[in-house]
Chains A and B, each alone.
Chain A
Amino acid sequence: MANFYTDNPDLRAHLSHPLMEKIVALKERNYSDAEKFDYAPVDFADAMDNYDKVLEIVGDICGGKIAENAESVDHQGASCSDGHAHYADGTVENLDLCRKAGLMGMSMPRRLGGLNFPITPYIMAADIVSRADTGFENLWGLQDCAETIYEFGSEEQKEKYITRVCQGETMSMDLTEPDAGSDLQSVMLKATEQPDGTWRLNGVKRFITNGDSDIHLVLARSEDGTKDGRGLSMFIYDKRDGGVTVRRIENKMGIKGSPTCELVYKNAKAELCGSRRMGLIKYVMALMNGARLGIAAQSVGVSEIAYREALQYARERQQFGKPIIEFPAVYEMLSVMKAKLDASRCLLYETSRYVDLYKAYEDIEKERKLTPEEKAELKVYRKYADACTPLAKGLSSEYCNQNAYDCIQIHGGSGFMKDYACERVYRDARITSIYEGTTQLQVVAAIRHVTTGTYKALMDVYAGMEFSEQLAGVKTRLAAMVEKYQAAIDAVQAVNDPAYTDFMARRLVEMAGNIVMAYLLATDATRYNSESMTKSALVYANMAEAEVNKHSSFIAAFKPEELAAYTKA
């Protein structure tokens, strides 16, 4: 039986990043929990050993039962009857394993029953779970809704709900409605306050992942007569109270083990979480950022399984008297798949480290005043996290779709049949670039970091890092790419038309992503002294350079008046 953590040395390498020392010290408040909890670490080495050993448990369960169950879960799927959603048998078994292994509420504090893990090892677990069963990652990964209760809920709510999440109860975030998808300002679900201070929810939600969960976060309209986002608040609905039924579940193309529900709220009792009117503008934004990082991890897991399935088939399949991996057409495809996988993984963990740092400072800020230096760091890391999250979600999800496509291509005719895992991977991959904000919406979130220079600032930081001798050439080429990127931004901004910037936004964001990932892959390959990452860095640099040139020449040659040809008649 494989262990999906130990069979992938890149994971241990990423976990060993030098910034971890700072992250862990902040998260562990200089290891003060050790006196209160018998499972708390006493120092940095101890904490790192804990992450490593717990990830080994994750890898063991994932490489064993969860991967084994993936096919039957896909075939059986979730079902709906009597107003409830029901998991496939394999999913029930997977959840039971994760509960018994204590892998729920991983990032929650110990006083609430959690493991107090930083985001980075938690995200690594998500990466591993997704490789085993992409749809199951959704159910397991919804534990990060607890983060929202932890950040914005009352102490009473934290003790009531987060402890239950740590015990293994599942969560959902009920945001989407039939007329409020990407445009959440249009949410209609009505919340009415009762004399006793509790609320009642009435209305319908649609496309709710794990919508029959134990604890729901619900976005609802608390302010009568309002029409926009400022009239929305966040609520907690407890399934034990009743009032919500599952009307139907969607018949989906992929992630079939994860029930996607249509929910009917009939006078469902709920509690307000945080302040009124802040539901969308503050809490959902925070919730979404966490969820987007989760989807980036899910996407990396998909890229991993797609690459591995393709590699194995290419080694085994013989044509013209030799394994097909020996043909340039095939090994080129495989090396590009690997480069995309490695690049998106580097960006995933870079992002998770920034999230870890700013969240740790924010949490400390609740206990004491931050020093001016700490405040400044908090601001920078939050900006980096804000900039990297849409980039990671947007590009990694596109890459995992490309990898799933190429995985089938390498399987040839067999890949089109239901006999190999690749067809499931292909279907499961497709949603990643759609939910938690489409790639197009990630571009909307990312473009301001193009125009305000956050990505450029990151590139400058990376350019000052160490590059191995083999990658010295990549460093020079990257400097040239940065110049082209800057020239493209200047050209677009010179037109001084928001519609024109929006039109070019995807290209600019992709350029930024290509350059940032090429830098990360090269510097990580150097830092971890990794031969396989070095190869990927060379392959990725070639690809990134070609992409940057493509966009650069498109933008340079484009005349604003040509825009008319693209607009609807």
Chain B
Amino acid sequence: MSLNIIVLAKQVPDTRNVGKDAMKEDGTINRAALPAIFNPEDLNALEQALRLKDANPGSTVTILTMGLPRAAEVIREAMFRGADGGIVLTDRVLGGADTLATSYSLAQAVKKFGNYDIILGGRQAIDGDTAQVGPQIAEKLHLPQVTYAEEILGIEDGKIIVKRRLENGVETVKAPLPCVITVNGSAPDCRPRNAQRLMKYKRAVSTSEKAHLTDDQKAFIDARPYLNIDEWSAAYVEADPEQIGLPGSPTKVKAIENVVFTAKESLQLENNDEQIEKLIIDLIANHTIG
């Protein structure tokens, strides 16, 4: 069967390579100092989507991302790797959203798609680490959800079979379509950018990027519809102004504390076998080793 797959992706600051100027004085992230990257677990989700597309000819993979207009970079990156296209949900009024407002906005955008079978996303983004957006979207759309997915094993009788990675093992579940699946970092890496696709899609632009092009460049894009990346506004997805952006975000930051890790506990041992043996038994008992 052919599937319409939506992959939720987020452009995030690369918090894995944090330098000394990564934080501002007030404890918030200095986004200018960190390169913007494709959220790593969203890449794992994209790979699962592309495998479904490979196994089900005629399927489409569309990226949905919310953020600044430059988040179109994430869509291009996904197109280089195999996605068919994408939508940037971007609007000033969407800014400052917490997970509740974010999931509401994205759910509205998903509704706008109308026709979809599977919504895939990474488990969590490396900037917030909440893992809340995927599940909240599922709730808002009244869809079943499968979290911690590691591998999509296939589709049988209209039901998707998914292997989940849990703390102490794996679990295989079956869910009806459409559904929401969030994918773990332990899932297979995303395939690389493909040379031919990169050369084909490197000029893909979002509506606001296109506005800065010359007339010749615009004509080039117009002659090739696959190079257009649409931007959707809050009004376009019929979002309630009270439920988006800052007004729609009940989460308020009370204070930010700078935590410096220091070693606190220390244990003095006599240099003899009994004490060392006791320490080893304690360490095994509290699962520090073994």
Contacts and interface: CB of A to CB of B under 8 A. Distances in A.
A209 to B, nearest CB: 25
B196 A57 contact: no
A492 B211 CA distance: 70
B199 A39 contact: yes
Contact of B195 (A49, A97, A101): A101
B198 interface: yes
Interface string A38-62: 1111000000011001100100110
A53 B192 contact: no
B214 to A, nearest CB: 14
A57 B193 contact: yes
B140 interface: no
Contact of A53 (B191, B202, B224, B226): B202
Interface in A102-124: 102-103, 106, 115
Contacts of A61: 192
A143 to B, nearest CB: 13
The bracket for how many chain A residues form the interface is 10 to 19
Nearest to A104: B195
Interface in A91-107: 97, 100-103, 106
A54 B195 CA distance: 6
A41 B196 CA distance: 11
B194 A101 contact: yes
Contacts of A39: 196-197, 199-200
Interface in A1-55: 38-41, 49-50, 53-54
B198 A38 contact: no
Interface residues of B, number: 13
Contacts of A57: 192-193, 195, 198
Interface in B155-197: 191-197
A115 B196 contact: yes
A50 B196 CA distance: 9
B194 A102 contact: yes
A115 B191 contact: no
Contact of A49 (B194, B196, B197, B202): B202
A166 B214 CA distance: 36
A166 to B, nearest CB: 10
Contact of B193 (A40, A49, A101, A115): A101
Contacts of A49: 202
Contact of B196 (A60, A97, A102): A102
A41 B192 contact: no
Contacts of A53: 198-199, 202
B195 A38 contact: no
B110 to A, nearest CB: 29
A103 B202 CA distance: 17
Nearest to B50: A100
A425 to B, nearest CB: 25
B200 A60 contact: no
Interface in B210-240: 224, 226
Given A38-B224, A49-B202, A53-B202, A100 B191 contact: yes
Contact of A38 (B191, B192, B193, B200): B200
A100 B224 CA distance: 24
Nearest to A117: B195
Interface in A61-112: 61, 97, 100-103, 106
Please give me the 6 A-B residue pairs with the lowest Cβ-Cβ distance, nearest first. Answer: A39-B199, A102-B195, A101-B192, A39-B200, A102-B194, A100-B191
17 contacts: A38-B224, A39-B196, A39-B197, A39-B199, A54-B199, A57-B192, A60-B192, A97-B191, A97-B192, A100-B192, A101-B191, A101-B192, A101-B193, A102-B194, A102-B195, A102-B196, A103-B195
Interface of B: 191-200, 202, 224, 226
Given A50-B198, A101-B194, 12 more contacts: A39-B196, A41-B199, A53-B198, A53-B199, A57-B198, A60-B193, A100-B192, A102-B195, A102-B196, A106-B195, A115-B195, A115-B199
